[in-house]
Structure formats: structure tokens, C-alpha cells
Amino acid sequence: MTKSNVSRTSRAKVGGKATLEPCACCGIAPDPRGRPLSITFEQPDVIDQIHPALLDTWGGDPFLAIKGVGFFIRVILPIKLSDGFAIDFGTWLEVYNEDFRQLWQTWNFPEYKDFELEGYIGNAIAPFDEFPHVLVKATVRDPEQVPYVTSSDNEVFTKLLSDTWPHAMVLSPYADLLKSDPPFEG
């Protein structure tokens, strides 16, 4: 059930070393291949509000059902940033159980690429204000990737998806994650 863009270990370097210098203002280097940076939220925020003894889940990533709460699909929220940066937030969409079921059935089939679903973003994502509880639409950009949040009738989300945001402001909550390298390669 894996789609390639849910990985957050894809820190490939061209020729064995980073080809782009870290930004002078924030110390974060753009991806050498020009791909968006990636931050992944492991689970919907609602899980933190449920007592572990009462938490009853089915599935995992990218399909997660929480008994008594709802149905969640892994999606990407793409944000355009200044100075050649971009970031893909791996987040969750709370969807209707019928869409959950249909997506589960089409996931590995050609029909997946035409799939559209609506739902509610399942994470608070800093530095943005808490998102309004409104429907957003997710569509498939690439059959090998999880769906992308692509539009909403809500003006907050329309602005989030269409504007180019100051990169240092958006990346600062994640600076440690984005700058940290493991002590040893491999």
C-alpha cells in the first residue's frame, strides 16, 4: 500500500554531497534536486485527545480508521515558499467512510489516478493558525503518490495553497528537523 512520497528518509544527495549551500538567513538548504522539503505528521491530532485505553484503531498509514471518531487518509499539503523552497506537509484528511472504502478499493488500480475526495485536515500545522473546519478537496497528481490537497472553497485554504510564503517563517518551527543529519551515513 506504499506510495513513494510518504517517505521522509529521501535525503538523496547528488554525487554524494549537497550541491546547494544552506540559506544564509535560516541555515536550511533547499533539496539538491529541487524537490519540496518534507515534514510528516505521524497521526491525526485527534489521537492525542483520546485516552489510550479507549483508542481503537484499524489500519495505519495511509488508511486509518478510529472507532467512534472517523476515517483518515494520508495526504500531502503542498506549500510554495520564497527563494526556491517548497514544503510538502504529510498530513491527514478526515473523510467520509464511503470515500475511505472506495479509495481503499482503487488504491492499487488505474482508477486511483482519477480519484477525488473531500475531507477535513487532521493536523494543526505550524506556523499557520488553526485551520477552519471546512472541506478541502484532494486529488491524485501521480499514481505512485498519496493524494494532494488541491483546492477548497474556503478562502483560508485557497490562500494557503496559492500564495508563496516567506520560507524562513514557515520552516522555522521545523528547523531542527530539516537541518539535522544522522551522525553516520547509511
For residue 74, which of 134, 117, 27 has the smallest C-alpha distance? 117
Beta-sheet pairing, 70-81 with 164-165: parallel
| Smaller CB separation from Zn ion, 55 or 177 | 177
Nearest distance in Å: CB 27, Zn ion? 7
| Smaller CB separation from Zn ion, 85 or 89 | 85
Nearest distance in Å: CB 180, Zn ion? 16
Nearest distance in Å: CB 167, Zn ion? 5
Rounded CA separation 104/1 (Å): 9
For residue 6, which of 35, 39, 32 has the smallest C-alpha distance? 39
Q: Can you give the binding site for Zn ion, defined by CB under 5 A?
A: 23, 25-26, 168
| Smaller CB separation from Zn ion, 75 or 79 | 79
Nearest distance in Å: CB 145, Zn ion? 27
| Smaller CB separation from Zn ion, 66 or 86 | 86
Three cell numbers at 181?
Answer: 543529519
**Phi, psi for residue 20 in degrees, rounded to 5:** -120, 135
Residue spans of alpha helices (H) in 30-106 = 97-106
Amino acid (1-letter code) at residue 53: A
